[in-house]
Structure 1
């Protein structure tokens, strides 16, 4: 049963949404059939040769190998999402690429602190500051140390490169599952600017402004982009009578390029993003406790619920900011590059653990307040030859230091039946981690012939990790734990490890337009500690590093005079000492989540990226991934007698199938204008959200259908578009989690159909 707010939506709005969506799809199909039938006559026109050139796909240039190369020539499985496409679709955060790149998945949460990305079924399932991410996020060469840092809004993106599989020989920080490489736009020589305005029928507004140009002729140029956004949300809190699950954010990004001489270029990048989020702890979608159901009233737990009665309004205040100084020094035959960066991430999170309007006789009222202050410094130096030769290589040194200072306090109000009175307990934990990473890395390509090459890379990593933790609590030590608060505890520890990772394999050009490669990669992820509020003695042992052995066979090809691009990758990766959170019971029967070396897991599959440009005004895209991520051998935590048998079961956050299909059609009209029609459908099979294979935390398969129609003036450089999201009004979950006898859902932004109107003007 839908919330009253949404039940009151007009019949006209529903009819308009379905009509527009069906019209877009029907129009696309008809246009496609007509274009195929008419293609031969077009080719026979006098402008045939010119038309053929225009119809070719644009060359995609990537920096995945730390040098500018065509996507079709790099021996790495890479998916590309252009900043222009993100702007057109009004997708402003990294999590939105999960519908663009099927091999990527997203772990949602009430706060950025609880979010992370997954590639090929593997990611970080922990919020402990003592764990490094399996998937690294790199923005303009700077590696972000915590997963939550990467999920804020993005500004001025040129492209996003998703490198799939273990990485470590080309980027400053190693990653055991993949790298999200974000490249922002460079300043322009000529003065330019833009304004981008977006508003939806359900109350979301966003404004972006940008400017770029030369400040000192031939010496200094710069750009700047600013963002202001607001959205009330799509969940109703009946306790406060306010909409939640929304945000307010603002920020900027600026880049300076200073060229004092022909062989020296210096850059300075500054960015700042602040977000106030109102995502609830979760909405209850399933409950088996009659007393809790009565306390939850008038909210009724059901699959599409978008109501809550939290009396402690869950919220997040998040600030992500940083500076980066870059330098490229060109010598006679080589270029030396340096990236020096400092970043700070602050996060304050409030959560309502009981999700009720007040404490009751049967249920304690639990409220949490957590703060994060994460600081990182990194230095990377690379060298590469300028002229191609028998050996092309990139070599580098990397250093990073990350400190995390966190506090977490919990308060519980519970009914003491012996005194017939309510009692309040509290606990406050202060914990810190300090991690240092040193590395030497490099990758080279031996060009034996024009068609045969050998790719080799090696990385030596040194990790040093330490933590300290202290919890003060009103719960007596004789009780141990009461209402999710443990008694006093303190501990500390340190560890260091040295890891080796690398890559090797041949690359062969079957024809100039068909390239193949086969590589073996060794992945490495450093040691970890499970540092969190309720930490206890069983959490103090250090976790061993996570390692991966990966084999990948790739085919990159272009056909039909470069009108069809078809890239395939088949892979198999085995992970040892997989680091993951596992929900279990402590000796007192209390449910806890433990970070463990879960054992051996594997992921294997096939990925397809295809684009076909039938003619200059009609483009088809298809991206597909069939990935089987499985638990091979699970190691039950020591002393755990409730550990289920999960061998052979699925890894969390990894559907077996994901598909994204898109059609873009352009209709040139008078006065340098054109109508742009686009329709996109993303589908995925069912997904399990819990490593313990809880039957109630499975999201069934679903598909999301989006469409847009736009008018673009290519001469005056403006564009206005009407967008429809989730045309079929499909409700789904980005996370299902357990909390006692209930199941909570994280409600996505597009949990129901909505409309958006955007306008962009370039100057």
Structure 2
């Protein structure tokens, strides 16, 4: 449950408005860094990392800012696309569980449990979206993105232990503006259309409407599925019946998407402003596990289907539901097709009032999303064990936050706020299991191994405050703390279990989880500005991520509440940095070093042999490293911009007795116990998706090539050293080092009224795994010797959550 305490409002003083219309231009709402083509020199970058507008060079926080112009250049309309421009931020899209594994600086959250909130918090217009399913949201018409690295509890509440991805959507403009865009991506055969209309309705009311629709006639991944026959044994009659399941005959994901947002800003010019943002999103793909590639197998072929070779390419292996079973499972389609449907809507109201000495902000939000899918969960056209599975999950949240910030002329200023949130998650899932059926069961359960249901109701109350003391004109100290109280009431039960499986899974045996959490998260920072262009800072930070309940777990004969209820995750540590602009405002250099310790890091374990989930807390983990970012915009070559980063990060478990990965042998380290089952000591082992070295290097150039015509080109590279994608050090989960290239070519005509662009991403066509899971029903005899004469340990295969391959898009746009 996302009972999340968050201070998430990008505040602009209500009296900073356009004098002609009373409507604040979008650039004033949360100013984004500007491209400076044709001019040379650096512009100022304004961020809201401390919930107020500040220069990137002044704020004592490690922030990577992506401008609206950069977002448009690379058509970054999703979190996955945004991650391609941020070397230390990685996303692994998952089919079930939370739906994603978001990782920053080697700290992230397992995707297999829907109950685990992300350690990397996603915030949209000041509102927290902690569900991994947020990657299904389409983000159009953005005004900027900020990647805040490291613990961010004071301003962004709980569930921000690893960092924050803060997105700002654009506000109405002070003059009428209309934009239309059409694009076509060649690999997936995707057609995209976008429209934005913005401007004043009256002197005090502005509106902005943004729409985006897309239809994919192909896909990014080939489906190499093989026709299979799925046999079921009727436990009531003893009859075995074959069911033919044809291979999927198209490419994946074949997505369809419709997004929309309406923004109204009422600004009467008397120090008051009210903003309403209403948005909706609907998307559908033809396979919920469209990026699941079997890429790591000990013998080169997948153990449950030797006809499938394990290799690092963009091919998945999935089948339709058998025709005679189509529509039999709840939420399965009558034609047997696989799918994932996601829909969401949200409304946010923000009231701002600027008193003489205090700015007050009040934000209320309601958001709701529904996710539903049908899956061939063997992932490799296998005719054994788990096959047709379906799921439906509903999540909704209401939040309200009131905050006040003083703006006194004296050396001391204060911030104080209070936050309330109410959430509910309702989760249902069915699965065929063990090749069985029961003709005496209700029709909707006949071919199921299980049907499970779970819910969590959460409530959060929080208060926080910060004092800022200007000790000297060049020396500032801040200190603050956030208090959090929350409750979560949960249950997990299986209303139906096939009779043959009732020794493994328990029917109608609820597992309750009534939890209460309290936390104090303090923070202190000292910053020194010896000159206007240099800031040196040091910070001590703490953070807290909610404990919770693994709604997507199973109730087996050995399940106890501690298997599905997990403790909070906490972080504490130090960060020191220097930010500078040199060479007469031509070169920006930002450098920081950090060390953070995480206690009770939340990790979810999927037992591929028993098909069970256990959520664990690692005793400790530590991430430490150094980061350098630079940007060079020489006056001598107007329109030229060089930029990049070099990052070193070492993320390791400090103390963690963990479950063994599937089929791990004694010789491979499975030589202890974990909760009475085979275990391993991961102390000193790397966390998941934690490359030691990452970096980026890019160049952009724009120049006039004729009257009213501008040519522009960019080339951006991203490097990562090798890492393990598994949270449990599975040796077959390795991701090799890689270098990606993204590039654009653009022509702007008639004073930028018309534009045509060619956009290429991952031009090196790198195979990149953002997370992994042990293949279902693979691996055997975990904890045994690999040399045993009988019952030898057999290592499990690895399924990778693979990022997009090479894509090339042509795009045309017009402003009028």
Q: What TM-score do you get using the length of structure 1 for normalisation?
A: 0.86
User: 524, 549, 566: which is aligned to 2:589?
Assistant: 566
C-alpha separation in 1, matches of 2:658 and 2:451: 30
Secondary structure of the structure 1 residue equivalent to 2:387:
strand
Question: Does the alignment pair 1:229 with 2:214?
Answer: yes
Q: Is the 8 A contact 2:593 2:624 kept in 1?
A: yes
Matches within 5 A, 1:322-471: 322-355=346-379, 357=381, 359=383, 363-364=384-385, 366-412=387-433, 414=435, 424-471=447-494
Matches within 5 A, 1:35-114: 54-110=39-95, 113-114=98-99
**Which string of whole-angstrom CA distances, capped at 9 and with x for unpartnered residues, describes residues 139-196 of structure 1?**
1111124232254210211111111111122235552121111111111111101012
C-alpha separation in 1, matches of 2:754 and 2:560: 57
Structure 2 CA distance for partners of 1:272 and 1:280, relative to 1, 3 Å: closer
**Which string of whole-angstrom CA distances, capped at 9 and with x for unpartnered residues, describes residues 376-396 of structure 1?**
000010101245531233221
**Which string of whole-angstrom CA distances, capped at 9 and with x for unpartnered residues, describes residues 85-126 of structure 1?**
111112210122222222212132136942142222112214
C-alpha separation in 2, matches of 1:174 and 1:702: 30
Matches within 5 A, 1:137-536: 137-171=122-156, 173=158, 175-202=160-187, 203-217=189-203, 219-231=204-216, 232-237=218-223, 238=225, 239-260=247-268, 262-279=270-287, 281=289, 282-287=292-297, 295=305, 297=307, 299-304=308-313, 306-312=315-321, 313-355=337-379, 357=381, 359=383, 363-364=384-385, 366-412=387-433, 414=435, 424-476=447-499, 480-481=503-504, 487-536=507-556
Give 2:803's aligned residue.
Answer: 748
The offset of 1:486, in angstroms, is 5.7
Structure 2 CA distance for partners of 1:178 and 1:357, relative to 1, 3 Å: closer
C-alpha separation in 1, matches of 2:465 and 2:211: 36
Matches within 5 A, 1:590-669: 590=610, 592-614=612-634, 615-636=637-658, 638-669=674-705
Give the stretch that moved more between structures: 301-310 or 265-274. 301-310
C-alpha separation in 1, matches of 2:278 and 2:67: 22
C-alpha separation in 2, matches of 1:748 and 1:116: 12
Secondary structure of the structure 2 residue equivalent to 1:87:
helix
Q: Is the 8 A contact 1:222 1:257 kept in 2?
A: yes
The offset of 1:691, in angstroms, is 1.6
Matches within 5 A, 1:546-561: 546-561=569-584
Give the stretch that moved more between structures: 386-395 or 87-96. 386-395
Structure 2 CA distance for partners of 1:461 and 1:453, relative to 1, 3 Å: same
C-alpha separation in 2, matches of 1:368 and 1:388: 63
Give the stretch that moved more between structures: 196-205 or 724-733. 724-733
Question: Does the alignment pair 1:708 with 2:744?
Answer: yes
The offset of 1:748, in angstroms, is 2.5
The offset of 1:648, in angstroms, is 0.7
Q: Is the 8 A contact 1:129 1:433 kept in 2?
A: no
C-alpha separation in 1, matches of 2:409 and 2:602: 41
**Which string of whole-angstrom CA distances, capped at 9 and with x for unpartnered residues, describes residues 619-642 of structure 1?**
101122211110110034643442
Secondary structure of the structure 2 residue equivalent to 1:106:
strand
Q: Is the 8 A contact 1:112 1:151 kept in 2?
A: no
Q: Is the 8 A contact 2:37 2:701 kept in 1?
A: no
Structure 2 CA distance for partners of 1:229 and 1:527, relative to 1, 3 Å: same
C-alpha separation in 2, matches of 1:332 and 1:728: 56
The offset of 1:233, in angstroms, is 1.0
Give the stretch that moved more between structures: 66-75 or 143-152. 143-152
Secondary structure of the structure 1 residue equivalent to 2:519:
strand
C-alpha separation in 1, matches of 2:61 and 2:600: 25
Structure 2 CA distance for partners of 1:676 and 1:257, relative to 1, 3 Å: same
**Which string of whole-angstrom CA distances, capped at 9 and with x for unpartnered residues, describes residues 307-336 of structure 1?**
424233542111121001110112222121
* Pairs aligned (count): 694
Matches within 5 A, 1:674-689: 674-689=710-725
C-alpha separation in 1, matches of 2:478 and 2:115: 34
Unaligned runs of 5+ in 1: 1-50, 417-422
The offset of 1:714, in angstroms, is 6.2
Q: What TM-score do you get using the length of structure 2 for normalisation?
A: 0.81
User: 537, 543, 558: which is aligned to 2:566?
Assistant: 543
The offset of 1:269, in angstroms, is 0.6
Secondary structure of the structure 1 residue equivalent to 2:603:
strand
Structure 2 CA distance for partners of 1:290 and 1:678, relative to 1, 3 Å: closer
The offset of 1:356, in angstroms, is 5.2
C-alpha separation in 1, matches of 2:396 and 2:619: 31
Q: Is the 8 A contact 1:66 1:170 kept in 2?
A: yes
Structure 2 CA distance for partners of 1:540 and 1:61, relative to 1, 3 Å: same
The offset of 1:52, in angstroms, is 13
C-alpha separation in 2, matches of 1:465 and 1:178: 23
Structure 2 CA distance for partners of 1:596 and 1:388, relative to 1, 3 Å: farther
The offset of 1:709, in angstroms, is 1.5
C-alpha separation in 2, matches of 1:151 and 1:180: 15
Give 2:760's aligned residue.
Answer: 724
Secondary structure of the structure 2 residue equivalent to 1:734:
strand
C-alpha separation in 1, matches of 2:37 and 2:583: 10
Give 2:10's aligned residue.
Answer: none
The offset of 1:716, in angstroms, is 4.3
The offset of 1:668, in angstroms, is 1.6
Secondary structure of the structure 1 residue equivalent to 2:199:
strand
**Which string of whole-angstrom CA distances, capped at 9 and with x for unpartnered residues, describes residues 64-85 of structure 1?**
1121111111111111011221
Unaligned runs of 5+ in 2: 1-35, 226-246, 322-336, 438-445, 660-673, 779-795
Give 1:757's aligned residue.
Answer: 810
C-alpha separation in 2, matches of 1:595 and 1:679: 42
User: RMSD over aligned Cα, in angstroms?
Assistant: 2.5
Give the stretch that moved more between structures: 88-97 or 402-411. 88-97
**Which string of whole-angstrom CA distances, capped at 9 and with x for unpartnered residues, describes residues 343-389 of structure 1?**
00110022212235573xxx235221111110100001010124553
C-alpha separation in 2, matches of 1:58 and 1:539: 57
Q: Is the 8 A contact 2:37 2:639 kept in 1?
A: no
Q: Is the 8 A contact 2:38 2:638 kept in 1?
A: no
Secondary structure of the structure 2 residue equivalent to 1:170:
helix
C-alpha separation in 2, matches of 1:117 and 1:696: 21
